[in-house]
Amino acid sequence: MDVLENWTQPMGTAPLMFIAAGAVALLLFLIIKFKMHAFVALILVSLLTAFVTGIPAGSITDVLLAGFGDTIASVGLLVGLGVMLGRLVEVSGGAQALADSLMRLFGEKRAPLALGVASLIFGFPVFLDAALVVMLPVIFAVARRLGGGILLYALPAAGAFSVMHVFLVPHPGPVAAASLLDANVGLLVLAGLIVALPTWVVAGYIFGQVSGRKNIRPVPEFISGGPQQEHDEHPPHAGVVVAMLLLPILLITMNTVLNTLATSGVLNGDATWVGVLQTLGATPIALLISVLVASVVLGTRRGRSRSTIEKLLDGSLGPICAIILITGAGGMFGGVLVASGIGDALAGSLENIGMPIMIAGFVISTIIRVAQGSATVALTTSAALMQPLVAAGDYNAMQVVAIVLALSAGSVMLSHVNDSGFWLVGKFLELDVKTTLKTWTVMETIIGFVGFLLSWAIFGVASA
């Protein structure tokens, strides 16, 4: 960091590691026991850590703002545009249309599979909490019509939203981790899908079916599923919805392919047309294009006025402001860890004990997840802790992506009573704590283990 280029950390590894452990413990205490908001707690702990580690007082503010600003610059655009796209799909009735179409395609006997596939598609731009609330009326209706208990249908859908939330951009955790570790977002999308889809089959669909048949619970009254979402009386065709959700993925993939071809010398990377296409495929621009297209296809062409669309998009941003700010504060904490030398000390310690970087990242992310509950905070914090180790390791682009996915896998492990998702699923489905632990917690843990194994396999292939 430029503001500290003439400063050298005088402390040794042992005191720095002690400070790091104390900082994380204090952060968890403030959030869990003291009930301090995570945004405030992260800023406070970042400030205290900067003072205790001896960062020059005149440079502390610059260090804090640099860490916060660098993270917000990438996270804010992706999360904001992603939630706008999801809102347009939601209000148009796209989720319902997609589920209905897949029900016809798969048949009633495979209704859980149909709902799971619909949730995978719908969960790309929509956060877990919002996506689950949007899909609950559909899940309840199918469960009442076909019978077998609510979990038979709800677990595959909830599992789908979970894997998309932890492994795919534009969700805030993967976005923040990619930013902190300088991972290629295009490769992260492709590798994230490679990890997320098989993981969902094992944890969301197969385990969901087994658990749903063993734990038969009645379908709750509709009011328990949250307020009915207002959407068009005649929703768009399912193919239109799929096209809207695939558009940003295709643009991002185009960017990755062009970058690869330009790097390998197949294309002239200085050519104007290559630069234009690469810009259009950059993740924020791809999402911007998708929002603009969806505003027309799902908005004005369906009779909504421009002012109505503007209000819809504006309303979608409110609920995710806290997520963006918390993620930025996590980047601030990471910036302090790097600037103070704690990150280098951690990297050296992990190297000395011989723990492979994939296992180290997974374990650290899991510990933070279990301690404080939030997958986003766990992923952001663990990525910040791993940043110096990754930077010093001379890893190729795909290896870095695999490390991000390993951290993502750890961030979803062992969901329990300090996780908002635990209570969200339990309350919406009217489950007691014991049943929620036997179903949701076990499914989340399977997602973590399977996701880690697949990400480790990707790392191994990339290392060959």
Cβ atoms 340, 393 nearer than 8 A: no
Claim to verify: residue 160 and residue 282 sit in the same structural domain: yes
Q: Using pLDDT thresholds of 50, 70 and 90, give the confidence band for residue 52.
A: very high
What is the Cα–Cα distance from 249 to 239, expressed in whole angstroms?
16
Task: Please tell me the total count of domains within the chain.
Answer: 2
Q: Is the pLDDT of residue 28 over 60?
A: yes
Q: Which domain holds residue 40?
A: 10-75+322-463
Claim to verify: residue 25 and residue 166 sit in the same structural domain: no
Claim to verify: residue 280 and residue 347 sit in the same structural domain: no
In a domain, 87, yes or no: yes
Average model confidence (pLDDT) for the chain? Answer: 83
Claim to verify: residue 60 and residue 138 sit in the same structural domain: no
Claim to verify: residue 333 and residue 313 sit in the same structural domain: no
Claim to verify: residue 292 and residue 393 sit in the same structural domain: no
What is the Cα–Cα distance from 420 to 407, expressed in whole angstroms?
20
Claim to verify: residue 340 and residue 444 sit in the same structural domain: yes
Among 46-55, 67-76, 107-116, 153-162, the range scoring the smallest mean pLDDT is 67-76
In a domain, 177, yes or no: no
Q: What spatial distance separates the first Cα and last Cα of the chain, rounded to whole Å?
A: 33
Mean pLDDT within 256-267:
76
Residue type present at position 21: A
In a domain, 39, yes or no: yes
Give the residue from 292, 319, 346 where a domain finishes.
319
In a domain, 164, yes or no: yes
Q: Using pLDDT thresholds of 50, 70 and 90, give the confidence band for residue 228.
A: very low
pLDDT more than 70, % of the chain? 88
Q: Is the pLDDT of residue 142 over 90?
A: no
What is the Cα–Cα distance from 379 to 454, expressed in whole angstroms?
17
Give the residue from 294, 319, 344 where a domain finishes.
319
Claim to verify: residue 337 and residue 453 sit in the same structural domain: yes
Predicted local distance difference test score (pLDDT) of residue 4: 75
In a domain, 395, yes or no: yes
The more confident residue out of 178 and 350 is: 178
Instruction: Give the best-scoring range by mean pLDDT among 204-213, 359-368, 433-442.
Output: 204-213
Helix (H, G, I), strand (E, B) or coil at 310: helix
Claim to verify: residue 261 and residue 286 sit in the same structural domain: yes
Predicted local distance difference test score (pLDDT) of residue 1: 45
Q: What is the pLDDT of residues 168-198, one digit of tens each?
A: 887 878 988 998 898 988 899 899 999 999 9
Among 127-141, 214-228, 296-310, the range scoring the smallest mean pLDDT is 214-228
Among 126-135, 282-291, 306-315, 368-377, the range scoring the smallest mean pLDDT is 126-135
Q: Using pLDDT thresholds of 50, 70 and 90, give the confidence band for residue 439.
A: very high
Claim to verify: residue 295 and residue 441 sit in the same structural domain: no
Claim to verify: residue 274 and residue 332 sit in the same structural domain: no
Predicted local distance difference test score (pLDDT) of residue 227: 46
Cβ atoms 380, 394 nearer than 8 A: no
Among 20-34, 106-120, 126-140, the range scoring the smallest mean pLDDT is 126-140
Predicted local distance difference test score (pLDDT) of residue 74: 66
Mean pLDDT within 219-248:
67
Predicted local distance difference test score (pLDDT) of residue 257: 78
Q: What is the pLDDT of residues 380-389, one digit of tens each?
A: 888 888 888 8
Predicted local distance difference test score (pLDDT) of residue 287: 85
Among 25-39, 143-157, 296-310, the range scoring the smallest mean pLDDT is 25-39
Buried-exposed string 307-323: b where 16+ CB fall within 10 A, e elsewhere? eebeebbeebeeebeeb
Q: What angle do CA 157, 160, 161 make, to 5 degrees?
A: 90
Give the residue from 262, 295, 319 where a domain finishes.
319
Predicted local distance difference test score (pLDDT) of residue 105: 80
Q: What is the pLDDT of residues 416-427, one digit of tens each?
A: 766 767 777 887
Among 26-40, 70-84, 195-209, 227-241, the range scoring the smallest mean pLDDT is 227-241
What is the Cα–Cα distance from 165 to 215, expressed in whole angstroms?
25
Q: Is the pLDDT of residue 339 over 70?
A: yes
Mean pLDDT within 147-168:
91
In a domain, 175, yes or no: no
Claim to verify: residue 80 and residue 211 sit in the same structural domain: yes
Q: Using pLDDT thresholds of 50, 70 and 90, give the confidence band for residue 452.
A: very high
